[in-house]
Amino acid sequence: MTGATLLLAKALDFAARKHVHQRRKGESREPYINHLAQVSWLLAEATGGGDAALIAAGLLHDAIEDTDATFVEIEAEFGSDIAALVAEVTDDKSLPWTERKRLQVKHVATKSRRAKMLKLADLTSNLHSVLESPPADWSPERKRRYLAWAREVTDGCRGADTTLEEGFETVWRRCADEFDA
């Protein structure tokens, strides 16, 4: 096995254990690890498998935000490069939801190229979920607001990666058509 294979297997195991009881908000309530796997796969596809640290960060990107994992723990397990990527896309959960979303729009353009790639993959996966299995309590207006917010965030990611940008655009257009946005 290569070092990259071991790294990805370890990140998958860590993410699966940390998110074991979590489900997506959609009607199908799919296991949360499915989202992390899709983000990781989108990053693997965009990099041709050439950036194992970024792909691992795709599996770990919500660990600090949504589990008991800490930056120190991720750094100890996966190194400073991966921990820094995860931290770069982690929201401050002590802030209200609306403030966190506003800050994402405001600061995304200042993020590293790899963090922008991670954000593009994350939002692409999220839009797939909203399209295929939206939360039951989301009105059409709520879906349109999420779609508009996702557009604002990804506008700040322009130039990071053509493959990821095209993937986002494809699912964004499908959502726009579906939600009459």
Catalytic positions, please?
65-66
In Å, what is the CA distance from 78 to each residue of 10, 16, 60, 128?
A: 9, 15, 10, 28
List alpha helices for the chain, DSSP H. Answer: 3-18, 32-47, 52-60, 63-66, 71-78, 80-88, 97-107, 113-132, 140-155, 162-179
Give the tokens for residue 37. Answer: 């796997």
Using DSSP, state whether 181 is helix, strand or coil. coil
Give the tokens for residue 97. Answer: 């939801």
Give the tokens for residue 165. Answer: 């940008």
d(CA 31, CA 93): 22
